[in-house]
Every structure is written in C-alpha cells, then in structure tokens.
Amino acid sequence: MQSASEMYTERADSHGASKEVLLHVEHLSQHFKMGRTTIKAVDDVSFDVYKGEVFGLVGESGCGKTTTGRSIIRIYDPTAGKILFKGKSISEKGMRPGRGELLSKIQMIFQDPIASLNPRMTVREIIAEGMVIHGVRDKEYIDNKVNQALEMVGLVPEHADRYPHEFSGGQRQRVGVARAIVIEPELIIADEPISALDVSIQAQVINLLNDLRRKMGLTILFIAHDLSVVKYFSDRIAVMYYGKIVELASSDELFRHPWHPYTQSLLSAIPLPDPNYEKRRRRTVYVPSAAHDYSADKPSLVEVTPGHFVNCNAAELAKLRGSLAK
C-alpha cells in the first residue's frame, strides 16, 4: 500500500500548479519522555498541504493536533519524520544556512491571545519583534509595517502604543494575527484561534482570516475541534485520534461519507439549532477495541476513493470497497 504522502505527491504532479504542494509532512512523530514512560503525542503522521488551500486538522483535546503544528514550525524538534516546505527540508536539527529564513515564511496564531502576548511589551513591540529578530533596523520602515498590519486586521495605528491588557479578547487575537502576517508569510498555522473567544467574535476572526487569505495569497493549516467551523472554513480535513490521522478527505466529502468510526462519532456530536432534530439525535460512541481487530492485521492510511483516505487494515478496506461497489 502506498502512503498518503506518496499519493498526494503523485496527484500534485499529475494535476500541475493548481495542486502545488507547499508543505509536505512525512512519517512525523513527536514523542515526549516522562520518567520511564514515553508519550506518543504524534505517531507516524503524513499529509500534504497544497498552496492556497485551508487544510483543517480536527480531533478531540489531547489527540496531537497542536503538537503537530508546533513540530512543523519547530517549536518542538520532531522525534522522527520529514518536513518539507517549498520542497526544502526544515526538519533537521542543524538546519543548513538559509533554512531559518525559509522557516520564517511559516507563522503561527496561538490559541490563547492572553498567554501568547507579552504583557510587558506594547503592541508595536509585539508585532515588530519578528522583523527585529530577522535583522530589520529601520525604525520608520518598522512603524509603517506595524501600522499596515494593524489596519489589515481591523485595528488602527493608535492601538500600537497600548499594552495587551487594554484590549478585549477579540482585539488581542487580532494583534496575534497582525504579528503573524507582518513579515508576509506564505503559510499560517492557526492553532484553535477562535476557541477562547465569544461566538460572535469567532465569526469575525474567521472572516478576517478568509479576507487575509485572499488578499495575501495565504495557505492556512487550521487546527480546531469544532467541526462546524472547520467545515465552513476548510478545503480539506484530516481527523486525528491518539496521535494518528484516521481519515482525510475534502470537506464536503468527509461530511457526506464519513467512513472511519471515530469520524462518525465526531459528526454525531455536532448539535444543530433544531429542537426536533436534537430530540431524535443519537450520539455514536467510538470504542476502538469494539470497532477494530488489529491484533494481526495492522492498519495504515490508504486511499479508498480518489482523495479520500482512511486508516484501516486489509479486511476493513475490502469491506469498504465492497460496500461502495453495491
């Protein structure tokens, strides 16, 4: 069986520039040692993110979504695996000269807008920090870029001299977005950027990211646990469970044909603003030991239909394809 990453690369090559692979993640693992125990936060994960798309990564808390994003941007050094950005490796521990500049084209928006902003720094200093780190010293240029970034996220230049505690939660997250876009990245890793915000503010931040995506030609890796938001915002979705990707497909395809039992369980938990539906809704519970027998035949992520990948073994794959043939 071919890996998901091999399948993606072939499809990108056969379809040309519209399927250009910007980020290639192959067999990524991130393990943490806690005493004598090893925690496999991310375990052999492979996927590609195409240029210009929004790639959603979903799953319950603790499944490894955030750790995957932090490993890609090198907040953590990966335990194993390969990460290519624009065809060049950014995963080796001692990166070759010039790769740090390449890595700067990947920026992250963090989940908690309070914890991710230094309370001792002004908004101007927070947004400008990335430029200063990369050697920019022209104060007038820095001020112009900071003001431009603030206006792009719906704030005004007068906000630049304030401190984070003087803003609302939604405004603080806009500052976080401005910090991410000020050095003109190509890939944004948005780590649950709306989960700490009120529902009305969530919509504003999602619309802001959509606008920035169009204006700046951004590619976004969108990490979240709210499937309704992910469906609206993402082109393709990967579902994670216990450090592994269990299903990957286009947004519409995943919601129409969820094949993995865990995906079915997640979708069954989505509430709808319809009291009659909610009275009838039955939650599907995913119990791995009851749903699978992997004692002899181990699973892998395989392509069942074009672009739709499921983590399954040979017996489950045959059953899936048999049901599709009917």
What is the DSSP code string of 264-293? HHHHHT---S-HHHHHH--PPPP-HHHH--
Which pLDDT tens digit goes with each residue over 245-277? Answer: 999 999 999 999 999 999 999 999 888 888 888
Measured at the CA of 293, the angle between CA 289 and CA 298, to 5 degrees, comes to 120
Q: What is the CATH number of the domain that holds 69?
A: 3.40.50.300
For 68, the domain range is: 4-105+185-325
Residue 301 main-chain phi, psi, to 5 deg? -85, 110
The pLDDT > 70 percentage for the chain reads 92
Q: Is residue 139 part of a domain?
A: no
Fill in the amino acid letter for 117.
L
Does residue 5 register a pLDDT over 50? no
Asked if 153 and 177 touch (Cβ cutoff 8 Å), the reply is yes
pLDDT category, 6, cuts 50, 70, 90? very low
Residue in 178, 166, 191 with CA at minimum distance from that of residue 126: 178
Q: Is residue 207 part of a domain?
A: yes
pLDDT score at 99 = 60
Q: Is residue 250 part of a domain?
A: yes
How far apart are the C-alpha atoms of 21 and 13, rounded to whole Å? Answer: 9
The count of C-alpha atoms lying within 13 angstroms of the C-alpha of 90, restricted to the half-sphere facing its C-beta, is 25
User: What's the structural domain count of the chain?
Assistant: 1
pLDDT score at 92 = 79
pLDDT score at 8 = 37
Q: Is residue 300 part of a domain?
A: yes
Q: Is residue 130 part of a domain?
A: no
pLDDT score at 42 = 96
